Chain A
Amino acid sequence: MDTVPLLLDGFGAALTPLNLLLLVTGALLGTAVGVLPGLGSAMAVALLLPVTFGLDPTGAFIMFAGVYYGGLFGDSTTGILLNTPGNSSAIAATIEGHRMARAGRAPQALATAAVGAFTGGLIATTLMVFFAPRLADWASLFGPAEYFALAAFAFAATATVVADSVVKGGIALAIGLALALVGVDPTSGAARFTLDQAPLFDGIAIVVITVGLLALGEVLHVASRIHREPQASRPALAGRPWLSRQDVRLAFPAWLRGTGFGVPFGVIPVGGSEVPTFLAYATEKRLDRRRKRPMFGRGAIQGVAGPEAAGNATAGSAMGALLALGLPTSATAAIMLAAFQQYGMQPGPLLFERNGDLVWALLASLFLGIGVLLLINLPFAPLWAKLLLIPRHYLYAGITVCCGLGVYATSASSFDLVLLLLIGLLGLMMRRYGLPLAPVLIAVILGPLAETELRRALAVGEGDVGVLFDSGIALGLYGLLVAGAVVAVAARLRRRRATAAAG
């Protein structure tokens, strides 16, 4: 086992004053976007991507690590206080959390959420540190057919699980694949769908697509509904977040159970932590029903603890899948993958060999990140909720300016700004019609890989489609895909029943 010394080296690299500053900045920023409804860590990383261009890769990834977990720490805060979850991953924890808040136990609910996010993140990150290198060793056996199977697996899984309908997920996937096709084909050198525009020969920059879809699209979406929906009310709370012994006795097993649900889901591309958080919620609810005096419906602490731990555990193991396999399992992970590519690195088996220093520094900073986040969230969660006092029009105006700045800073081209506006409008349309965004991002990022590996495999097999199914790993992935689809469909049915019963 040489994991521990490598990790210690990583801590050594991460623990410089500058890197710590970046980590804390990232954690603060991540919590802020997590707290604000509609903004998530995916958008924050997308907006930071161009800005961090001036930093060295290690510093940039340390900052991303803070943002990545910060979004998950912050998202349940406003959900608990105001019933407006900051993100879809916080919906499950909001149900009981807000009831706790209405029962005057808001500080306890916030503390449970923060400790839950810490527990889930810590356990998942630890597991990942010890298993990711093994996973990477295994993945080094991959050839073109296996890589294509992996990409196909990611496409199918995101498209089928994230959306409310398979057709809508598929549409999002097709849009992403089409966007990824633009540019010069690296295999043959043919210019594809470039309309003879020189700036398009290199393809549409991933920064433009992510910022456009996630940030500008969100601004346009908010604008489109500004007169259609009520504004959120103001938070009002006080008190100290101390958990009683009784609270801890109830919450502790729920934290662990939630982590148990979260860890496996991080490795499967189901677009994030919605499914595991709802699974954890449903489980806690079912266990609670066996008690003499069921607490669900009146603000059950387990209903906050389980989903929060599940959410952060998913994020932790998703990072493992990203580093070891190069497989993004959520929108945020997809953008992190884009960040690696921006620095000329390809996550996957070779990353541990080629950029070992950076990987171990990143893993160490994930640990530091969750520690910092616990410190800034446990005592100060109510302060974070004050962010909601920023007038909405200034907030979104600021985000819009950031979009323009970010894209202009990377390319200094007006052409990219025009593309950004068009993709922002696409983002508006997708939100308007309930098309999920995660499949687009995953298709844009993995599309070129899928195409290259598919063509390579078919060229080796001289046109015989059978080569795609000629290996145990590939067959295993397709088998897992089928099994995962079955489980996910069952989970969705159960979740629907759980939410219907909860409402």
Chain B
Amino acid sequence: MSATAERGGSRPPDPEGHEGHEGHEGPDGPEGPAPAPAGRGELAVVALLLGLGAFLTHGTVTMTVPSTAGSPGPRFFPVIVIILTFSLAAALAVQILRRPRAAAPPPADAPAAGRPRTYTDWRAVGIVVAAFAAFIVLLTPAGWLLSAALLFWGVSYALDGKRPLFDTGVALAVSAAFQLAFSAGLGLDLPAGVLEGAF
């Protein structure tokens, strides 16, 4: 019963398909910390922070400060944020590197045969991102109805929608419902695109 008591521990995949009854871990809500995987993958966060710090430093150095600016000027606060960013990057790096490497290999990273290989399902994420990118590109030329339907279909496909053809119908219905609710109900104009004049 104590296996899942520790918040932040990884949940082992359950082939039976039902949520474990003994723990009380919720799915990661917007305000709840996600289970932190052990290992060195977290160095990605350090890299992100270093990149952020470098970007802010570059922007601060090359900033055009108007001659009328008082003191402390527009560079003052960014410098504080830069210092904060670099010191936190260093602190996190130290934390990660001091953690014993073999202490807690997450089950999802060290899978048994037949289980997924990596912790993050990049294929599903990739499909969602691609669908959203396509939505952005197509929104103006193709119109809301088609691009939003494509977005809906893409996300539902990425999340294991099993009936692609049926889902096409659902996607078009959802997208049309949004368009109707918004143009008729709230008076917001969504781009009509190629279907301009069809309604």
Interface positions of A (Cβ within 8 A of B): 37-40, 42-43, 51, 54, 79, 82-91, 94-95, 98, 102, 162-165, 167-168, 170-171, 173-175, 177-178, 181, 185, 187-193, 213-214, 216, 218-233, 271-272, 274, 330-331, 391-394, 396-398, 400-401, 404-405, 408-409, 414, 417-418, 421, 424-425, 428-429, 431-438, 451, 454-455, 458-459, 463, 499-500, 502-503
Contact = CB atoms under 8 A, between A and B. Distances in A.
Nearest to B26: A85
B17 interface: yes
A167 B26 contact: no
Given A87-B31, A167-B91, A434-B8, 5 more contacts: A83-B24, A394-B161, A398-B174, A429-B48, A431-B34
A37 B5 CA distance: 19
B104 interface: no
B137 to A, nearest CB: 8
A13 B91 CA distance: 52
Contacts of A228: 13, 108, 116, 119, 121
A408 B24 contact: no
Contact of B69 (A102, A178, A188, A225): A188
Contacts of A398: 152, 174
A38 B33 contact: no
Contacts of A82: 19
Contacts of A94: 24, 26
A404 B31 contact: no
29 contacts: A38-B30, A54-B187, A85-B29, A88-B26, A91-B26, A94-B26, A102-B21, A162-B33, A163-B33, A167-B88, A175-B52, A177-B81, A178-B56, A190-B69, A223-B127, A226-B159, A227-B121, A227-B160, A228-B119, A229-B13, A230-B17, A331-B31, A397-B171, A400-B128, A404-B151, A417-B139, A425-B129, A500-B6, A503-B4
A400 B8 contact: no
A434 B34 contact: yes
A223 B132 contact: no
Contact of A500 (B5, B17, B18): B5
- Which are the 8 A-B pairs with shortest beta-carbon distances? A503-B5, A88-B32, A434-B36, A188-B69, A393-B159, A85-B26, A190-B74, A397-B155
B148 to A, nearest CB: 5
A191 B64 contact: yes
Contact of A178 (B7, B81, B171): B81
Interface string B147-164: 010011111111111000
B65 A190 contact: yes
B33 A164 contact: yes
Interface of B: 1-8, 11, 13-37, 41-42, 44-45, 48-49, 52, 55-56, 59, 63-66, 68-74, 76-78, 81, 84-85, 88, 91-92, 95, 108, 116, 119-122, 124-125, 127-129, 131-133, 135-136, 139-140, 148, 151-161, 167, 170-171, 174-175, 178, 182, 186-188, 190
Contacts of B77: 181, 451, 454-455
Given A174-B49, A400-B151, A272 B64 contact: no
B116 A227 contact: yes
Contact of B155 (A42, A214, A272, A400): A400
A174 B66 contact: no
A433 B44 contact: yes
Contacts of A226: 121, 124, 158-160
Given A171-B88, A414-B136, A221 B28 contact: yes
